[in-house]
Amino acid sequence: MSEKIKIKFFKAISRLLLKTVFGPPFSYGFQRRWFEWMAAAAQLPKNMSIQSINMGDVKAEKISSLKSSNRVQAPQAQTVILYLHGGAYCICSPKTHRSLTTNLAKKSQLTVFAPDYALAPEHPFPAGINDCLLAYEWLLQFGYTSQNIIIAGDSAGGGLVMATMQRIKQKSLPAPAGLVLISPWMDMTLNNMEKVSDKIDPLLRWSNIKAGVESYLQGQDPKMPLASANFADLTGFPPMLIQVGSEEILLNDAKIIHQRAQDYKLDVTLTEYQNAWHVFQLQAGILNMADNAIAEVNQFILKNTPARIVTKEVESRA
| Residue boundaries of the structural domains of the chain | 3-317
pLDDT-based confidence at residue 70 (cuts at 50, 70, 90): low
What is the model's pLDDT at position 76?
Answer: 72
Q: Angle CA(200)–CA(206)–CA(212) in degrees, nearest 5?
A: 140
Highest CATH level, class, for 3-317: alpha beta
Segment 260-291, tens digit of pLDDT: 999 999 999 999 999 999 999 999 999 999 99
- Position 72, amino acid: V
The DSSP secondary-structure symbol of 83 reads E
- The answer to whether 155 is a known catalytic residue is yes
pLDDT-based confidence at residue 1 (cuts at 50, 70, 90): confident
- Whole-number Å distance between alpha carbons of 43 and 51: 18
- Higher-pLDDT residue of 120 and 313 is 120
- 34 has pLDDT over 70: yes
pLDDT-based confidence at residue 309 (cuts at 50, 70, 90): low
- Whole-number Å distance between alpha carbons of 86 and 270: 19
- 3 has pLDDT over 90: yes
> What mean pLDDT do residues 54-80 have?
84
Q: What predicted TM-score, i.e. pTM, was given to this entire model?
A: 0.95
- Whole-number Å distance between alpha carbons of 85 and 244: 15
Type and span of the H or E element at 62? strand 58-65
In three-state secondary structure terms, 245 is: strand
Q: Exactly one of 68, 108, 155, 215 is catalytic; which is it?
A: 155
Q: Angle CA(107)–CA(18)–CA(281) in degrees, nearest 5?
A: 15
What is the model's pLDDT at position 71?
Answer: 59
- Whole-number Å distance between alpha carbons of 199 and 247: 9
- The answer to whether 93 is a known catalytic residue is no
What is the model's pLDDT at position 317?
Answer: 40
- Position 204, amino acid: L
What is the model's pLDDT at position 313?
Answer: 44
- 156 has pLDDT over 50: yes
